Amino acid sequence: MVSNLIKWDKYLLFIVKGQSMYPTLHNNDLVLGIEYDGGSVESGDIIVFRDAENQVIHRVIEVYLDHVVCRGDHAYRRDAVSYSNIIAVATELIRGSDRIPLKNGRWREVNEEEK
C-alpha cells in the first residue's frame, strides 16, 4: 500500500506502507511517480493503482490490451489492473539521502549492497 503525500503538476510523491514490495521498496520509503496519462506501461514497471479500498504499489509482470497484471516483489497474489485504475508510474525511490531510478534496474544494485 501507499499513501499520497504531495501532488505537484504531473508528479506524485508516495509513502510506501507495508512489505509487499520488499526488498525493492521498504516500509516508509518515498517513491516519486509520474501521473499515468494513458501511455504505455511495460513489464517490470512499478505502478501505483487503485483497488477496492486502497492505493497499491506493485510491479507489472504482464501487459495486455485492456489491463496489466501486477504482483508485489514479496507477495504471491497477482492483481489484474485496468488501465483506468492506474494512478502513477514510479520513477524514483528516495531512501534517506539516496535517489535511485526505478526504471533502469539500479534498484537491483542497491538491494545487493544491503545483503
Question: Phi and psi at residue 77, in whole multiples of 5°?
Answer: -70, 135
Contact yes or no for 1/18 (Cβ under 8 A): yes
Q: Provide the residue ranges of all domains of the chain, joining segments of one domain with +.
A: 2-114
Mean pLDDT, the chain, as a whole number? 87
Percent of the chain clearing pLDDT 70 (strictly above): 86
Stated as kind and residue range, the H or E segment containing 112 is: helix 106-114
* 105/77: higher pLDDT: 77
SS3 of residue 85 by DSSP: helix
Closest-CA residue to 93 (of 62, 43, 48, 38): 48
Question: According to the CATH classification, is domain 2-114 in 3.90.76.10?
Answer: no
Q: What is the pLDDT of residues 24-74, one digit of tens each?
A: 999 999 999 999 999 889 999 999 999 988 999 999 999 999 999 999 999
